[in-house]
Structure 1
Amino acid sequence: MPFAVYVLGLAVFAQGTSEFMLSGLLSGIADDLHVSLGAAGLLTSAFAVGMVVGAPLAALAGRTWPRRRALLFFLGVFIATHVVGALTSSYGVLLATRVAGALANAGFWAVALVTALALAGPHRRARATAVVVGGVTVACVVGVPAGAALGELWGWRSAFWAVALVSVPAVVALLVVLPGGRPDGAPEAGARSELRALARPRLLGTLLVMALVQGATFCTFSYLEPLVTRVTGIGQGWVPMVLALFGIGSFAGVTLAGRLADARPDAVIGFGMSALAAGWAALALTASHPAAALALVLIQGALAFGTGTTLITRVFQLAPDAPTLAGSYATAAFNVGAATGPWLGGLALGAGFGFRAPVRVSALLMCAALVGVWALSARGLTLARGRREHSG
């Protein structure tokens, strides 16, 4: 695997840390800026919205640039927003930096995915995707807990400074190892051509399935703390270890999927989604048993991110003539799920269905995703049969 692909994973690690670290910093931000916890929580929502809206917009804006220039520009803006965020005493400015940082993050993701695939070659696409997505899983295991620890020791601003500093080596490395122009074989399709390619029903259906899978993942992940403390009976001090266990599983799943999905993507997606649906249902039933709950947290993390990585690769396979915008749509679908899943889980909790309710919602979302996959497969078989009859 080219070293530049691992550099892209490093940058994604810093950005993933930024996306998820606020969960451990909200109280400090609210006290320091004299706002409510709800207002501080909007900083997370603003980042998610910026990712969803910004992915296609940023990709369109930077699609004609050489990829190194686009990546350095988006990464530079991302670093600048964290420097400004660390220095400001204004809640409004901090909110604006979260939106701007999300726009830059979305643009970087879209270009980084297509760059990694171009550098790795057609036979290592899933492995390249796994390296880039792996940056997010490492952020869950290392970056987010480290950000929370820094916030506890030196205040929330130190976590913002840390994200900016971790991003600097990626800037230097990208300058050194990434070619200045477009990689050989990169498509030069126009924006209208790419947009037409993205209107294909099978591609749109795959993006919807992606959003459902991620919605199921983050619905439970967002409410793991009350589940394990109030249902499983694990002490509050063990919660970071449970979250890290999910992250370890995620990293393992991404790594394994990267090795398997290039050869057998349909098998990885089919098995992964079926196992996820069964796993969320099992966790809802066995959450009161610590051994079973911890084992399922690890397994579900592996299945969720392994399946998600393979689905991202599938998006690029379905839109070879729209690589940059395909990456941006995959990024948007991921974040639609990441925003919608916790919202649905919160509705279930608020309705009084208990602390297992988000896990049940995850199981239902996976059932909907399986129906979507079945519909896509049926449509594909119908189209293939029609082509055979027409040619005959």
Structure 2
Amino acid sequence: MPLALLALAIGAFGIGTTEFVVMGLLPQVAQDFGVSVPTAGLLTTGYALGVVVGAPLLAVLGTRISRKRMLMLLMGLFVAGNLLTALAPTFGLVLAGRITASLAHGAFFGIGSIVAAGLVAPARRAGAIAMMFTGLTVANVVGVPLGTLVGQQVGWRATFALVAALGVAGLAGIAALVPADPRPGTDGAHRPGIRRELAAFRNVQVVLAMLMTVLGFGGVFAAITYIAPMMTGAAGYAESSVTWLLVLFGLGMVAGNLIGGRYADRRLMPMLMTALGALAVVLALFAFTAHDKVLAALTVPLIGALGFATVPPLQKRVLDRTADAPTLASAVNIGAFNLGNALAAWLGGAVLSAGFGATAPNWVGALMAAAALGLAVLSTALDRRSTAAPNAAPATVAAPADPRVPVHH
């Protein structure tokens, strides 16, 4: 794999760390500013909404300048947001820092996916995308626990200062390792305009892929958002054990991401349908295994693995279907992951509030994953119908290599 993928993975590691580490630091932040923990929870909500809003807005900007330069600007925005969070004298400015950092999230992964895919041969594109996302998954295993530990021992501000330093490392890596590309409109470079980018959303397969993104990975968050009360209330774990269960979840994410990337390059839709079907079954089983410590500890990493096994194929599916104008759709699909997370967390909270029991969010997740599987089956059927139609174009169009980024074999 090209070294440029390492630079993208470092940036992804920093983004993944800052997204999730705040959850373990909310009590400290709340105490420092004299606000309630639910109010401090706005730091998580604000980040998620910033991803959804920032993805399309900054992706539009990304259609006007070179992708390497855009990635560097996004990492600069990420660094600025985390520094503001670390130094903010008021809770409002902490929230502003979180939102500033989140704006870079969707566009970074969206544009980074395009660059990663262009660095390798067509048959290895899903694997390259997975390699970049490895930074995000490893963040849950290493970055979040270490960031939480630093925050508890030194102070939460030190955690975000370290995350900002990670952003600087990612920025330097992108500057040094990602191949240069000419500005659109110069040196023969071609970049579709915003109308062409928007036209990609008229493709029913693109819309289906994004809906699968919302429902499939959202199903994971229906369960994981409420893993603490579920494991302490149903399985009987101590609160201190939840951190290690989340590490197991993160290890599952790492494995699933790499497996999904590898097999999506071979048979994308069969891989996706297998992962979604298995995810629906495992989430349903978690409603029962969550009552036993050993079975729960075995199920949690499976949820992480099957959930993240869907990420590389879904991202590649969008890129394949928007080969001539991928920037906006790729970034919006990243926003769709966060939209699914927010929807799942709300639905899981609703069934808990309705009194259906501590494990009820798992049924919500199972239904969401099953719905995503249904959409995958529909998408495959449409592919086959298109292939069978007279004079039809091929069902799957491989995205051409970025003309500005050299291909390494």
**TM-score of the superposed pair, with normalisation by structure 2:** 0.91
The answer as to whether partners of 2:273 and 2:377 remain within 8 angstroms in 1 is: no
Q: Does 1:84 align with 2:90?
A: no
The alpha-carbon distance between structure 1 residues 147 and 258, as it changes in their structure 2 partners (threshold 3 A), is same
The answer as to whether partners of 1:214 and 1:337 remain within 8 angstroms in 2 is: yes
> Which residue, 363, 368, 373 being the options, matches 1:370?
373
Once the two structures are superposed, the pairs formed by residues 184-263 of structure 1 within 5 Å of their partners are: 188-263=191-266
The aligned residue for residue 401 of structure 2 is none
Cα distance, 1:286 vs. partner? 2.2
* CA distance in structure 2 between the aligned counterparts of 1:379 and 1:107, rounded to whole angstroms: 29
Q: Deviations over 1:327-377 (max 9, x none)?
A: 212111111112111111111111111110111110111121122122222
Consecutive aligned runs of 4 or more in structure 1 exceeding 6 Å deviation? 183-186
Q: Does 1:128 align with 2:131?
A: no
The answer as to whether partners of 1:348 and 1:358 remain within 8 angstroms in 2 is: yes
* CA distance in structure 2 between the aligned counterparts of 1:376 and 1:257, rounded to whole angstroms: 18
Q: CA RMSD in A?
A: 1.8
The aligned residue for residue 266 of structure 1 is 269
Q: Does 1:36 align with 2:27?
A: no
* CA distance in structure 2 between the aligned counterparts of 1:251 and 1:366, rounded to whole angstroms: 20
* CA distance in structure 1 between the aligned counterparts of 2:60 and 2:41, rounded to whole angstroms: 30
Q: Does 1:308 align with 2:274?
A: no
Q: Secondary structure at the match of 2:68?
A: helix
Cα distance, 1:110 vs. partner? 1.9
Question: Which runs of 5 or more structure 1 residues have no equivalent in the other structure?
Answer: none
The aligned residue for residue 102 of structure 2 is 102
> Which residue, 276, 279, 297 being the options, matches 2:300?
297
Deviates more, 1:174-183 or 1:295-304: 174-183
The answer as to whether partners of 2:141 and 2:250 remain within 8 angstroms in 1 is: yes
Q: Does 1:2 align with 2:19?
A: no
Deviates more, 1:348-357 or 1:169-178: 169-178
The alpha-carbon distance between structure 1 residues 288 and 4, as it changes in their structure 2 partners (threshold 3 A), is same
* CA distance in structure 1 between the aligned counterparts of 2:37 and 2:221, rounded to whole angstroms: 21
The answer as to whether partners of 1:207 and 1:333 remain within 8 angstroms in 2 is: yes
Q: Does 1:154 align with 2:157?
A: no
Q: Deviations over 1:263-282 (max 9, x none)?
A: 11122111101101111111
Q: Secondary structure at the match of 1:366?
A: helix
Cα distance, 1:71 vs. partner? 0.9
The answer as to whether partners of 1:51 and 1:332 remain within 8 angstroms in 2 is: yes
Q: Deviations over 1:260-316 (max 9, x none)?
A: 210111221111011011111111122212222211111121111012221111111
* CA distance in structure 2 between the aligned counterparts of 1:264 and 1:371, rounded to whole angstroms: 18
* CA distance in structure 1 between the aligned counterparts of 2:204 and 2:392, rounded to whole angstroms: 21
* CA distance in structure 1 between the aligned counterparts of 2:149 and 2:316, rounded to whole angstroms: 34
> Which residue, 342, 346, 350 being the options, matches 2:345?
342
The aligned residue for residue 361 of structure 1 is 364
Question: Which runs of 5 or more structure 2 residues have no equivalent in the other structure?
Answer: 394-409
Q: Percent identity?
A: 38
Letter in structure 2 aligned against 1:27: P
The answer as to whether partners of 2:79 and 2:167 remain within 8 angstroms in 1 is: yes
Cα distance, 1:186 vs. partner? 7.6
Q: Does 1:170 align with 2:170?
A: yes
Higher helix share: 1
* CA distance in structure 1 between the aligned counterparts of 2:189 and 2:321, rounded to whole angstroms: 16
